[in-house]
Amino acid sequence: MIDLHDKVKQVLITGASRGIGLQAALSLLHAGCRVYCVSRSPSNHAHDNLHHIPADLASGVDSGAEICALLEERGVFPDTLILCAGAITEALIPKQDPPSIMNQLNVNFVAHVELVRRLIPHMMRHRFGRIVGVSSTAARQPAPGQSLYAASKAGLEAFLRCCAMEFARKGITCNSVAPGYVATEFSARLEATKDLSKVVPVGRMASVQEAADAVLFFLGRHSDYVTGTTLTMDGGLSLAVK
Ligand SMILES: NC(=O)c1ccc[n+]([C@@H]2O[C@H](COP(=O)([O-])OP(=O)(O)OC[C@H]3O[C@@H](n4cnc5c(N)ncnc54)[C@H](OP(=O)(O)O)[C@@H]3O)[C@@H](O)[C@H]2O)c1
């Protein structure tokens, strides 16, 4: 059982139909939270406190607005946001066509900015909020073919650092987690995961539970003073890169 802050009760998670987001959702349900999961398709899990909010974040600002309208209709005002949905198109820059550019920027960055912009006033009124972005080590470590993905994740981290400054006095913390490689459908598609044991000092990928636990750290009872930071959890990968 995680040692959650007692004000963490209603959590909105993007990208919670599978992978890291779903694992975080399951841990939060277990801890007694009500969890609202945004994704295009629902997860296979059923629970009275698990609610699917269908949305395609590729619509950027519009999807953020639609999600918030749906929440408002239901009288739901999340105290916690986990921004976990992610999209990547691995291709060199000339092959990153406008739809793939916009898809990566919208899913990883723009839709999340809009969700924060619309939901933070409620957190301010209640003088409590927890916001965690799921970034990537790619935000800092260049890899060929990942330019838009890296830029959108770096943007998300920078955005959350500024939010941390703006809302620190309102009891709202904003942080990011930057995983290296986590065993999910997402990483299975990546070129670099073919022979990880040689490049990751720990010698394996992280499990989804390990990645979810890093996210949940920021929702913990003892994390009030932690804001504006990024927790890298990569099994030492960034140490090993020359
Ligand atoms: N796995 C890794 O090695 C790794 C490493 C570093 C960072 N990350 C980051 O961790 C986060 C979670 O990744 P994961 O590994 O758990 O991936 P995953 O298992 O593929 O899950 C991705 C989630 O994002 C949702 N999503 C994708 N596109 C969406 C869209 N257009 N609209 C709404 N939801 C969308 C998916 O739901 P639907 O398809 O149902 O919409 C799914 O719930 C991502 O932000 C990723 O960049 C992962």
Based on the residue annotation, tell me whether 149 is a catalytic residue of this protein: yes
Contact 25, 35 (CB under 8 A): yes
Q: Which of 40, 70, 90 to mutate to test the pocket of ligand 1 (most atoms within 8 A of CB)?
A: 40
SS3 sequence of the chain: CCCECCCCCEEEEECCCCHHHHHHHHHHHHCCCEEEEEECCCCCCCCCCEEEEECCHHHCHHHHHHHHHHHHHCCCCCCEEEECCCCCCCCCHHHCCHHHHHHHHHHHHHHHHHHHHHHHHHHHHHCCEEEEEECCHHHCCCCCCCHHHHHHHHHHHHHHHHHHHHHHHHCEEEEEEEECCECCHHHHCCHHHHHHHHCCCCCCCECHHHHHHHHHHCCECCCCCCCCCEEEECCCHHHHCC
| Closest of 181, 188, 229 to residue 208, by C-alpha | 181
- The answer to whether residues 86 and 72 touch, using CB atoms and an 8 Å cutoff, is no
Sorted by where each begins, the domain ranges of the chain are 10-237
Answer whether residue 2 shows pLDDT above 90: no
**Minimum CA distance residue for ligand 1 atom 43:** 15
Please provide the CATH number assigned to the domain covering 10-237: 3.40.50.720
Those residues whose C-beta lies under 8 Å from the C-beta of residue 127, and which sit 6 or more positions away, are 170, 171
Pocket flag, ligand 1, residue 185 (CB < 6 Å): yes
| CA dist., res. 34 & res. 206, Å (int) | 26
The whole-number average pLDDT for the span 81-96 is 97
pLDDT band at 167 (very low <50, low <70, confident <90, very high): very high
pLDDT score, position 240? 74
Cβ 10 vs Cβ 20: under 8 Å: no
Q: Residue 235 corresponds to which tokens in the numbers above?
A: 């099994």
CB atoms within 10 A of CB 204: 11
Q: Which of 36, 149, 181, 225 is catalytic?
A: 149
pLDDT in tens, 113-160: 999 999 999 999 999 999 999 999 999 999 999 999 999 999 999 999
Q: Is 44 in the pocket of ligand 1 (CB under 6 A)?
A: no
How do residues 177-202 score in pLDDT, each as one tens digit? 999 999 999 888 877 766 776 789 99
Dist CA 13 CA 186 (whole Å): 17
Sign of torsion over alpha carbons 63, 65, 68, 69: negative
Which numbered atom of ligand 1 lies nearest the CA of 42? 40
Cross-strand pairs, 220? 4
Tell me the CA–centroid distance for residue 15 and ligand 1, in Å.
5
Q: Note the pLDDT of residue 145.
A: 96
Contacts of 116 (CB under 8 A, 6+ apart): 81, 83, 131, 159, 163
**Is 56 close to ligand 1, i.e. is its CB under 6 Å away?**
yes
Averaged pLDDT score across all residues of the chain: 95
Atom number, ligand 1, closest to the C-alpha of residue 85: 24
